[in-house]
Amino acid sequence: MKKWNLAPMGMLTAAVVLAGCATMGPGYEQDKEYQLTILHTNDHHGRFWRNGDGEYGMAARKTLIDSIRAEVMAEGGDVLLLSGGDINTGVPESDLQDAEPDFRGMTMLGYDAMAVGNHEFDNSRDVLMQQAEWADFPFLAANIFEKGSSKTLFEPYEMFDIQGNRVAVVGFTTEDTVKIGNPEYTSDLDFKTPVEVAEDLIPKLNKKADLVVAVTHMGHYANADHGGNAPGDVTLARSVPGIDVIVGGHSQNPLFEPDEQNGTLILQAHEWGKYVGRMDLTLKNGEIVDYDYRLIPVNLKDEVEDAEGNEVMVFQDVEIAEDPDMLAFLQPYQDKGAEALDTVIGSADGDFIGERSVVRSNPTNLGVLIATAQMEKAKADVAVMNSGGIRADLEGGDITYKDVLIVQPFANMLTYVDLTGAELMEYLEVAISKEAGSGAFAQFSGVEIISTNGEINSADVNGAPIDADKTYRLAVNAFMASGGDGYPKISDHPNFVNTGFVDADLLAEYITNNSPLSIEDYDPGYMIDRM
């Protein structure tokens, strides 16, 4: 393994949890400087194992974190390891095992606390509580209450002693969970507005603690422009003074520098454990007097051209060896997950056509099936799917997870946006203009289109013509949302939402819930072209 050349500030290992500290005075020495490093990740989404290019994975993450802890110990500081939530939902190997390898792996990594993410409610309450048992660290959520009660589902905060400095870590979860989650698993809960809860709670924590850290799953929206999403970390920081650091998640964007708002430092480390965020704090008299911050890539690679003109993958930073103990622990889960991919999840009475030469030139029943699954998951009115994201036929008979992954191998996230009818028509006009034979060729669900020479004569949604002033929800994958295949970029639209659901997973879920599938129900009769 190559030698690490990390930032000069290093810290110690696990902090001591405080109890009954409400009446305690400061335990630190006046005018003495203390060092605290906050390490953080967010939006793990089942990525306990490295990807096909050897990027990220919990085994390499452990080597990195252990290396930082060793450096930290030598310098007499302390470490808090935090997660911004959404451990669930991302890859079948994890999903089929209720994220057991992920939560147990986090225990081995020594996490101190995590925010509860919206995807923690993708499973039944029994599974969620089992996951909390697999974790030997607290799930924190100050704004999730048992319905009609003042009792929170999980602890609102945890107190830590950092060499006499009292640190409160408080959790907040997006109130959008009730909108984007499964009502079956959230109907007995109240998701209160985080700002409303924080306005009451943070002043109380300021009296108990020298430092207040919020670990959140709310999203970072620059200048608080959250659009159709619930307000995020910037709104929280601007609305509620007294929070020193926000360790965030949900929007899955990397902040390579802290966003300082109203005296609060806001952090986020992208997704999937691609980075470990590292903030080195200098504390004096109960205040932050200095800090250093970076996102450390975990074996991320860039594609470059070598001297011979070949495309090769090179590490962005030094290569991190995988920790052998973590690797040995995770390997049986990876093997079991791979086995489970052969599990039959449903069946069909005929073939769904996704063969390249057909699906890129013609509407097909597989295109309709995929778009319908995405439309239903997003609770959308219309879905559009680029044919380049469909890689094979789905043959009739029994269907396995592996079959679905062959059809959709790219692990694209499902996104949606709420558009006016006028905006939707503009989008559909671009979609039907995509050239036959290209991967951009559009497949649809939820809309009936009559066109002449590539121009729309009429378009009906829910049995009625599209109303220019009415609002419609459009579902597409994240590749298309970001402008892929020349589709209109909608990822910067104020109403844009990335659900975090992976295309293959939601297709598998749809097949399971609707089997046996009849190919008649997915006949692509949604478009008539009068050329």
356 is catalytic: yes
- For residues 251 and 220, is the Cβ–Cβ distance under 8 A? yes
User: Which residues lie below 8 Å from residue 472, measured CB to CB, with a gap of 6+?
Assistant: 381, 382, 418, 419, 420, 421, 424, 461, 466
Both tokens of residue 254?
A: 């990397």
Of these residues, 118, 143, 261, 374, which one is catalytic? 118
Of these residues, 360, 386, 443, 473, which one is catalytic? 360
Both tokens of residue 40?
A: 């953080």
The number of C-alpha atoms within 13 Å of 417 and in the hemisphere containing its C-beta is 24
Both tokens of residue 393?
A: 């036929």
Query: According to the model, what pLDDT value does residue 526 have?
Result: 55
360 is catalytic: yes
Query: According to the model, what pLDDT value does residue 16 have?
Result: 55
Q: What is the CA radius of gyration of the chain?
A: 24
What is the chain's length?
Answer: 531
- Paired sense of beta strands 397-400 and 344-348, if any: antiparallel
- Residue 476 CA, chain-centre distance (Å), reads 17
- For residues 30 and 36, is the Cβ–Cβ distance under 8 A? no
Lowest mean pLDDT segment, chosen from 176-190, 415-429, 505-519: 176-190
pLDDT at residue 254 tops 90: yes
Quote the strand ranges of 16-99, DSSP E.
16-17, 33-41, 78-83
Cα separation, 501 vs 496, whole angstroms: 14
Of these residues, 391, 460, 485, 514, which one is catalytic? 391
Of these residues, 35, 47, 50, 86, which one is catalytic? 86
Cα separation, 316 vs 300, whole angstroms: 6
- Paired sense of beta strands 264-267 and 245-247, if any: parallel
Of these residues, 95, 98, 112, 122, which one is catalytic? 122
- Dihedral in degrees, nearest 10, Cα atoms 265, 270, 271, 274: -110
Which pLDDT tens digit goes with each residue over 171-195? 999 999 987 777 778 999 999 999 9
DSSP lists the bridge partners of residue 284 as: 33, 287
Query: According to the model, what pLDDT value does residue 402 have?
Result: 87
- Paired sense of beta strands 447-452 and 455-461, if any: antiparallel
- For residues 92 and 26, is the Cβ–Cβ distance under 8 A? no
Of these residues, 123, 163, 252, 374, which one is catalytic? 252
Q: Which of 242, 241, 219 is closest to 231 using CA atoms?
A: 219
Of these residues, 217, 226, 270, 278, which one is catalytic? 217
Cα separation, 154 vs 145, whole angstroms: 8
Give mean pLDDT, residues 13-27: 56
Of these residues, 40, 44, 45, 270, which one is catalytic? 45
What is the crossing angle of helices 58-75 and 100-109, to 10°? 20
Q: Which 3 state secondary structure label does DSSP give 338?
A: helix
Cα separation, 437 vs 359, whole angstroms: 8
Which pLDDT tens digit goes with each residue over 362-414? 999 999 999 999 999 999 999 999 998 998 899 999 999 989 988 997 788 99
Write out the DSSP string of 261-277.
Answer: ETTEEEE-B-STTSEEE
43 is catalytic: yes
Cα separation, 503 vs 413, whole angstroms: 6
285 is catalytic: no
Of these residues, 44, 69, 119, 226, which one is catalytic? 119
For residues 309 and 242, which has the higher predicted lDDT (pLDDT)? 242
Distances from the Cα of 240 to the Cαs of 158, 202, 231, 262, in angstroms?
Answer: 19, 8, 13, 9
217 is catalytic: yes
Query: According to the model, what pLDDT value does residue 233 have?
Result: 98
118 is catalytic: yes
pLDDT at residue 288 tops 60: yes
Give mean pLDDT, residues 334-350: 93
- 217: amino acid identity, one letter: H
226 is catalytic: no
